[in-house]
Structure 1
Amino acid sequence: MVCGGFTCSKNALCSLNVVYMLVGLLLIGVAAWGKGFGLVSSIHIIGGVIAVGVFLLLIAIVGLIGAIHHHQVMLFFYMVILFIVFLFQFGVSCSCLAMNRGQQETLLNSTWGVLDDKTKSGLEIQLNCCGLLNTTSTRAKYEEDVKNCPAACKENSCSTCGEMMLHHATEALKILGGVGLFFSFTEILGVWLAVRYRNQKDPRANPSAFL
């Protein structure tokens, strides 16, 4: 069977979904490992990562079952959901690659504002810093954070957590954007394979059957 035929499309789609399943399991495992070792204390962050892993795992299972059984309905929903995920991930990845320092500071401020005190304290201890950013607009909040800061550097002079995060933010955003962009193209490949595979006939089936 030449590549591009029914069997080739089926095997390629199955292989792609097995990779998605492994990535989903990896996300769930990393989140559980981070929680177990105390690297991440916020249940919201852990829950978010696990939710993404479970969602990816479920989508991969739907695609795998649809590919194995050549199930038209499952393949249809699989390619629609995967295309929506592609659009969202492609947009986020491009935003990460295009984000400048001012936008990074705005994002950090909004994220810091929704974190609970336990998560903030955990970050301050791990990074040995106090507060987020000491600017004119955030000085009141910064002084409040410094008063409650549990970091060891508080006895001397602490750097702000925001400056430490921003120091590596550009590199981190480039990595996240690049990885997200790469996986978004694997998702559009999955959509193309699903569309192609749905329109192919199983050579072992009844030639008069409509598939």
Structure 2
Amino acid sequence: MSSTFGQHYKYIDSAKVMGPAKYAADIKRNPETRLVEIKKYIPGIALDIRYATTNNFTNHRMYPQARAFARLPVVLALKDVQDELKAKGLGLKIYDGYRPYSITEKFYEIAADTNFVADPRKGSKHNRGCAIDLSLIDLKTGKELDMPTGFDSFSRKAAANYPDLTPLQIANRELLKGVMQAHGFKVIATEWWHYDFNGWAKYPLLDIPFSTI
């Protein structure tokens, strides 16, 4: 699908979204806030970047590459999470990280349910490089732990505190919640897999293609 990186947008004042040129100038001043590739900092982390495939709610390939990025402080916190989980024989699987703003517009046009897709008039924490979609895996088998739903389910069972689940699903969900919260993340109410990094509000919305990061 085509992109509108750094151009005008349908739902928001373009001045509120940082394109490639402004981003380059911003991280020159503040290199500690730059977007980095998660795999380069956490080589053992598993990736399942659904939006680089057709296996997602849009049924379209939304990303040109199966890569995951986030702001440097977010990735360093994730590294601490991964290290803690490793002692339990577990690890993280990443479904999505930084998401260009223009993709958020497309998501909204496909499924305008703001319980599950971000309102483009406000933008997403993913657009700020401060949100991560993830799950837990068993390091020995590489298999995902039993969770309430699959990724990107629009079901009520996806809610972070939905009660009518098996004891194992609740235990796994709460294990993920506990370790993420301990390292500066907060789950959102409607999606057990989506975690926002504390302090996200200080980071601007971005529309930067993966190829320029």
TM range (shorter): under 0.3
Work out which of the two has the higher radius of gyration on C-alpha atoms and give 1 or 2: 1
Q: TM-score normalised to the size of structure 1?
A: 0.27
More helix, by proportion:
1
